[in-house]
């Protein structure tokens, strides 16, 4: 008993002392009030037009169906007509980009499978806005929506499938972002994409992501916008200023060795997709977007998936934007009236201003990512000796406009980073009297304009 009491007393004293020092460190680390989006970002977001988005959604719905197995050469009805229209829209944006944006049709033949009765050509439309900072131009962010649609029977390619919310809304947002961003010079590269074959099993995005991986493309973040058209739930509740952002914690591609490390030190809430989602909340939840980004710590909704999974399967960080509460009478349904209830994914159920706000959230995230330095590479936490200090090291960033780094931390139970220390242009830093056993720590890079990278979560130095 004595020994236990003694140990408890010693522990209490240590906590008190640690508390004092930690308190000092925490005071030192408290973040300064965020000044919010820069004037350049604000003016870019103001250009995002709900009227353009409405026009795109109505045009896409008017192709009758955009089923992956529908006609590819009918100029009026079917996925081929939609494909050509999207290509033209991207091309118009590229024409205003001073050569920075190029547009590509990425076609491949998908072999027969459970949802593909005969081999079919699938085409992704890919608009690449090349970064202008040589040290950053090979760093890529992808924003995507799927332009294929379906009705009740996933194999029925003749029924009307207007797909206004699922997912003309996502494609319209991507087209509008391409239009607005093509005129701007970004440090890193942004790819605006409309994929097909999503409803048949994510085929278009899977092909793109596999090709990207094979080429060694450095995709440091991917967002799919899928079902971002309505802010009204099936009970009529409106939530027009919220968007959900789904992100996984444990990476889909985690190896057994990585799993063993995670089990020993934690980190199940600090995978790269989770850091990307935290980043979006930091840079896109503000007066310029008027939106609340509801982070959901789950790869996707129950029973369902989306194009972000194709990127996760290749080891790329990715997350999914979706409206706050879905109305299933307007998804994957034949257009019909039953007992006075209108079924079907029709433009009349889309809130175009809402979709424009979600597009602004994407715009704020993409612009911030593409203007900021890359997240520091090879972030390590020193564990050679038992100590109650925390020392991080990382590799120096390559960007010429780099200002320095920030070390951040939070309680292990806190969702978001709560403390920041500006540490200057160094590649290691020790936080005195802050034990790595008790908090989550990370490091991010900052440029001279104050643009911050996502946080790198360190692994123990071996
Ligand atoms: Zn969808």
The CB density around residue 47, as the number of other CB atoms within 10 Å, is 15
How deeply is 352 buried, as exposed, middle or buried, from its count of CB atoms within 10 A (0-12, 13-18, 19+)? buried
CA of 100 to the centre of ligand 1 (A): 30
202 alpha carbon to ligand 1 midpoint, in Å?
Answer: 10
- CA dist 455 → 197, 443, 445 (Å): 33, 5, 8
pLDDT tens by residue, 228-273? 999 999 999 999 999 999 999 999 999 999 999 999 999 999 999 9
Output the CA 135–ligand 1 centroid distance in Å.
35
How far does residue 309's CA lie from ligand 1's centre (Å)? 13
Which residues lie closer than 8 Å to 429 by C-beta, 6 or more apart?
Answer: 391, 392, 405, 407, 421, 423, 443
Query: Angle at CA 84, nearest 5°, toward 80 and 90?
Result: 145
Between the CA of 312 and the centroid of ligand 1 the distance, in Å, is 17
- 127-148 residue pLDDT tens: 999 999 999 999 999 999 999 9
Give the integer Cα–Cα distance in Å for 139 and 67. 33
Written as six digits, the tokens of 19 are: 């508390």
Cα 15 off chain centre by: 39
Taking the centre of ligand 1 as the mean of its atom positions, its distance from the CA of residue 338, in whole angstroms, is 24
What are the distances in angstroms from CA 386 to CA 20, 21, 208, 390, 391?
20, 18, 46, 10, 12
Cα dist. 173→206, 363, 406 in Å? 21, 9, 33
Which residues of the chain have a pLDDT value below 50?
1-23, 32
Tokens for 329, please give them: 């009478």
- For residue 227, the CA-to-ligand 1 centroid distance in Å is 6
Residue 365, pLDDT score: 98
75 Cα to the center of ligand 1, angstroms: 24
Q: How far is CA 174 from CA 10, 326, 351, in A?
A: 59, 20, 16
CA distances 319 to 143, 165, 210, Å, are 10, 18, 17
For residue 34, what pLDDT is reported? 59
Query: Considering only CA atoms, which of 434, 220, 458 is closest in space to residue 316?
Result: 220
Please classify residue 302 by burial: count the beta carbons closer than 10 Å to its beta carbon, then call 0-12 exposed, 13-18 middle and 19+ buried.
Answer: exposed
Give the Å distance between the CA of 289 and the centre of ligand 1: 23
pLDDT value of residue 20: 33
- Can you tell me whether residue 42 is helix, strand or coil? helix
DSSP assignment of 106-167: EEEEEPPBTTBSS-EEEEEEEEEE--SSTTTTTEEEEEEEE-----SSTT--SS-B--IIII
Q: How far is the CA of 340 from the centre of ligand 1 (A)?
A: 26
> Rounded to the nearest whole angstrom, what is the distance from the C-alpha of residue 140 to the centroid of ligand 1?
23
**Calpha distance 336→341 (Å, rounded):** 8
Q: How far is the CA of 164 from the centre of ligand 1 (A)?
A: 10
Q: Tokens at residue 438, please?
A: 């008790």
CA 166–ligand 1 middle distance (angstroms): 5
Centre of ligand 1 from the C-alpha of residue 68, in Å = 13
Ligand 1 center to 149 CA (angstroms) = 8
pLDDT at position 211: 98
In the block, residue with structure tokens 């999914």: 320
322 Cα to the center of ligand 1, angstroms: 9
- How much distance in Å is there from the Cα of 263 to the middle of ligand 1? 34
For the chain, helix (H) and strand (E) counts, in that order, are 11, 17
Q: How far is the CA of 193 from the centre of ligand 1 (A)?
A: 14
What is the distance in A from the centroid of ligand 1 to the CA of 355? 15
State the distance from the centre of ligand 1 to the C-alpha of 168, rounded, in angstroms: 9
Q: What angle do CA 365, 48, 321 make, to 5 degrees?
A: 45
- How far does the centroid of ligand 1 lie from the alpha carbon of residue 169, in Å? 10
CA of 206 to the centre of ligand 1 (A): 15
Q: Give the torsion through C-alpha atoms of 233, 234, 235, 239, to 10 deg.
A: 10
Please, are residues 70 and 104 in contact by the beta-carbon 8 Å criterion?
no
CB atoms within 10 A of CB 64: 20
* Centroid of ligand 1 to alpha carbon of 44 (angstroms): 27
């Amino acid at each position: 008993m004595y020994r236990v009491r003694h140990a408890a007393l010693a522990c209490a004293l240590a906590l008190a002392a640690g508390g004092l020092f930690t308190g000092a460190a925490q005071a030192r680390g408290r973040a300064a009030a965020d000044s919010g989006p820069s004037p350049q970002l604000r003016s870019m977001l103001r250009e995002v037009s709900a009227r353009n988005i409405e026009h795109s959604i109505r045009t896409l719905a008017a192709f009758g169906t955009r089923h992956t197995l529908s006609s590819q050469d009918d100029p009026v009805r079917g996925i081929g007509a939609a494909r050509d229209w999207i290509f033209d829209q991207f091309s118009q944006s590229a024409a205003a980009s001073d050569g920075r944006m190029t547009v590509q049709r990425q076609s491949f033949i998908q072999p027969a499978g459970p949802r593909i009765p005969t081999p079919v050509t699938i085409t992704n439309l890919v608009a690449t806005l090349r970064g202008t900072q040589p040290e950053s131009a090979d760093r890529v962010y992808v924003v995507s929506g799927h332009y294929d649609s379906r009705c009740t029977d996933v194999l029925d390619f003749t029924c009307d499938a207007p797909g206004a919310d699922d997912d003309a809304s996502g494609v319209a947002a991507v087209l509008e972002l391409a239009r607005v961003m093509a005129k701007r010079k970004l440090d890193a590269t942004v790819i605006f994409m409309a994929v097909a074959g999503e409803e048949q099993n994510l085929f278009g995005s899977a092909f793109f992501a596999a090709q990207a991986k094979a080429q060694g493309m450095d995709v440091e973040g991917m967002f799919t916008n899928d079902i971002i058209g309505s802010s009204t739930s099936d009970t009529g509740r409106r939530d027009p200023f919220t968007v959900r952002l789904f992100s996984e914690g444990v990476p889909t591609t985690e190896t057994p060795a990585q799993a063993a490390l995670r089990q020993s030190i934690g980190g199940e809430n600090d995978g790269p997709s989770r850091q990307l989602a935290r980043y979006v909340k930091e840079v896109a939840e503000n007066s310029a977007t008027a939106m609340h980004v509801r982070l959901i710590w789950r790869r996707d909704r129950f029973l369902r998936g989306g194009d972000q999974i194709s990127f996760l399967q290749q080891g790329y960080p990715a997350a999914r934007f979706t409206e706050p509460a879905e109305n299933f009478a307007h998804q994957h349904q034949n257009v019909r009236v039953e007992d006075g209830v209108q079924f079907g994914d029709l433009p009349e159920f889309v809130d175009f201003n809402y979709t424009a706000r979600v597009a602004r959230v994407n715009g704020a995230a993409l612009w911030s990512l593409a203007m900021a330095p890359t997240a520091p590479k090879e972030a390590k936490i020193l564990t050679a000796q038992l100590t109650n200090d925390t020392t991080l090291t990382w590799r120096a960033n390559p960007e010429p406009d780099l200002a320095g780094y920030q070390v951040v931390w939070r309680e292990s139970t806190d969702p978001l980073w709560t403390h920041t220390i500006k540490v200057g242009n160094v590649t290691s830093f020790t936080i005195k009297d802050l034990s790595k056993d008790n908090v989550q720590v990370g490091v991010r890079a900052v440029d001279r304009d104050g643009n911050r990278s996502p946080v790198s979560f360190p692994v123990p130095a071996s």
